[in-house]
């Protein structure tokens, strides 16, 4: 059991930078050039990986599957068939991703897809929420020894437990769970980001968030709550035809999201609260309060409480130590409005 996985030498988990996946999925629209341009743009946005989906309609859906309401009842099988990734593209897409400095992997939806990606030595495998019950397919991915990232949309804890068991039965503990809402787009109110902590505690694995909401605010909240992996659908243009374009992030939005995400990681800090940072030193000295003389205090005078006041700057003795000063004598003349330091009293 581990709270860290390793993707192509990149440690992912608590204490490491968030691993950001641009989910290209089927937004290539059967166009290899578009697929490559999506990789180019995602890499420029600063993501760590690009991900596709590898399925074959005949192995993926029954021809009798009813149409989905959110797709206006369009024939499901025909739609899925139109979104298939040409598997001959996977090697050139992987090479293109590597040339752009990002990882390439996919969500394999059948045995041949797993074998094809294994031959390419992809650094990780992603299981779509809809495929979570297919423990046999998950086990095949786990047998590669590579990390298995499991989306958990619609899942119960029992569903998740069985998927994890399928990985561990294959002696693979490189597992990550992504909180997800399987609606497109997903309502913010169903985000349930707190489930990340629940899954981390229960299963002792890396957790993250797969985002289907509009905008980036829910994604950024997930990072602040400890997501180690973020997956965001990506398109070059939301007006392009296809079911996953309308709720996907466009290039400028993905770029901004990654920048804000990294700012949040930096802002989270180390959790240590131990006085001023070096950069705060001037503010600490000049902006905090300390004890000052409220009137002239001649040398040798016994200092009374009324002779002191509290104001800025903080170059004098701390106000909470006032009682330690009362009754002692001035070692030097202390002018009104002067902060009082220890060398001024005896």
β partners of residue 103: 49
β-partners of residue 334 are: 297
Q: Any residues with CB less than 8 A from the CB of 126 and at least 6 apart, and which?
A: 21, 51, 105, 106, 107, 148, 149, 151, 231
Of 227, 248, 268, which marks where a domain is finished?
Answer: 268
Q: 262 near 17, Cβ under 8 Å?
A: yes
Same domain (yes/no): 262, 302: no
In this structure, the answer to whether residues 140 and 287 fall within a common structural domain is no
CA 148/CA 144 separation, integer angstroms: 9
- For residue 3, tell me if it sits in a domain: no
Give tens-digit pLDDT for 274-291.
Answer: 999 999 999 999 999 999
Domain-located, residue 1: no
Rounded CA-CA distance 292/287 in Å is 14
Rounded distance, CA 234 to CA 214, Å? Answer: 12
The CATH number that applies at residue 334 is: 3.90.1210.10
pLDDT score, position 232: 98
The string of pLDDT tens digits covering residues 222-243 is 999 999 999 999 999 999 999 9
Q: Are residues 51 and 140 in the same domain?
A: yes
Residue 174 maps to which CATH number? 3.20.20.70
In a domain, 235, yes or no: yes
241 and 119, same structural domain?
Answer: yes
Return the pLDDT at 67. Answer: 94
Residue 312 neighbours by CB distance under 10 Å: 14
Angle in degrees, CA 96, 102, 105, rounded to 5: 80
Domain assignment present for 325: yes
243-249 long-range contacts, CB within 8 A, separation 24+: 243/26, 243/71, 243/79, 243/83, 243/184, 244/25, 244/26, 244/27, 244/184, 245/27, 246/185, 247/184, 247/185, 247/186, 247/212, 247/213, 247/214, 248/23, 248/27, 249/216
Q: Which two tokens stand for residue 67?
A: 């149409």
- The reply to whether 54 and 126 lie within a common domain is yes
Q: β-pairing, 308-311 with 290-293? A: antiparallel
| Whether residues 90 and 225 fall in one domain | yes
What pLDDT sits at residue 3?
A: 82
Which of 227, 242, 268 is at the close of a domain?
Answer: 268
- Cis-peptide into 185, omega within 30 deg: yes
pLDDT tens for the 346 residues of the chain, in order: 568 999 999 999 999 999 999 999 999 999 999 999 999 999 999 999 999 999 999 999 999 999 999 899 999 999 999 999 999 999 999 999 999 999 999 999 999 999 999 999 999 999 999 999 999 999 999 999 999 999 999 999 999 999 999 999 999 999 999 999 999 999 999 999 999 999 999 999 999 999 999 999 999 999 999 999 999 999 999 999 999 999 999 999 999 999 999 999 999 999 999 999 999 999 999 999 999 999 999 999 999 999 999 999 999 999 999 999 999 999 999 999 999 999 999 9
Q: Tell whether 322 and 262 lie within a shared domain.
A: no
d(CA 323, CA 346): 14
The pLDDT value recorded for residue 227 is 98
pTM of the model as a whole: 0.91
Residue 196 lies in a domain: yes
255 and 282 together in one domain = no
DSSP classification of residue 340: P
**Residue 282 and residue 242 share a domain:** no
Tens-place pLDDT, residues 238-283: 999 999 999 999 999 999 999 999 999 999 999 999 999 999 999 9
Q: Report pLDDT for 302.
A: 97
Residue after which a domain boundary falls, among 241, 268, 295:
268
Q: Is-contact 213 185, C-beta < 8 A? A: yes
**Ramachandran assignment for 149, one of left (phi > 0), alpha (psi -120 to 50 degrees), beta (any other):** beta
Same domain? 105 vs 161:
yes
168 and 24 share a domain? yes
2 within some domain: no
Domain count of the fold of the chain: 2
- Same domain flag for 179 and 308: no
* 205 domain-assigned: yes
Query: What residues make up the domain containing 144?
Result: 10-268
């Amino acid at each position: 059991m581990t709270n860290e996985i390793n993707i192509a030498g990149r440690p992912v988990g608590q204490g490491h930078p968030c691993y950001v996946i641009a989910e290209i999925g089927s937004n290539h629209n059967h166009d290899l050039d578009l697929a490559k341009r999506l990789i180019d743009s995602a890499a420029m946005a600063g993501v760590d990986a690009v991900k596709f989906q590898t399925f074959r309609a005949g192995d993926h859906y029954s021809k009798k599957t009813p149409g989905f309401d959110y797709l206006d009842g369009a024939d499901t099988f025909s739609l899925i068939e139109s979104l298939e990734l040409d598997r001959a593209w996977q090697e050139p897409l992987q090479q293109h991703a590597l040339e752009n400095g990002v990882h390439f992997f996919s969500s394999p939806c059948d045995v041949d897809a797993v074998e094809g990606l294994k031959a390419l030595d992809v650094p990780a495998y992603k299981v779509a929420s809809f495929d979570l019950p297919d423990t046999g397919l998950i086990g095949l991915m786990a047998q590669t020894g590579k990390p298995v990232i499991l989306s958990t949309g619609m899942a119960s804890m029992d569903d998740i437990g069985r998927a994890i068991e399928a990985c561990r039965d294959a002696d693979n503990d490189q597992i990550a769970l992504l909180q997800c809402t399987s609606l497109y787009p997903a309502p913010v109110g169903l985000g349930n980001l707190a489930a990340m902590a629940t899954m981390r505690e229960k299963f002792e694995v890396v957790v993250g968030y797969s985002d289907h909401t509009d905008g980036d605010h829910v994604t950024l909240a997930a990072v602040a709550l400890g997501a180690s992996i973020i997956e965001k659908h990506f398109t070059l243009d939301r007006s392009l035809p296809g079911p996953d374009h309308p709720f996907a992030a466009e290039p400028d939005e993905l770029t901004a999201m990654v920048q804000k995400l990294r700012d949040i990681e930096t802002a989270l800090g180390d959790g240590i609260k131990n006085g001023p940072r070096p950069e705060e030193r001037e503010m600490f000295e000049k902006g905090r309060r300390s004890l000052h003389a409220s009137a002239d205090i001649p040398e040798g005078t016994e200092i009374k409480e009324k002779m002191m006041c509290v104001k800025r700057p903080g170059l004098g003795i701390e106000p909470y130590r006032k009682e330690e000063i009362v009754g002692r004598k001035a070692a030097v003349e202390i002018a009104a409005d002067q902060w009082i330091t220890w060398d001024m009293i005896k």
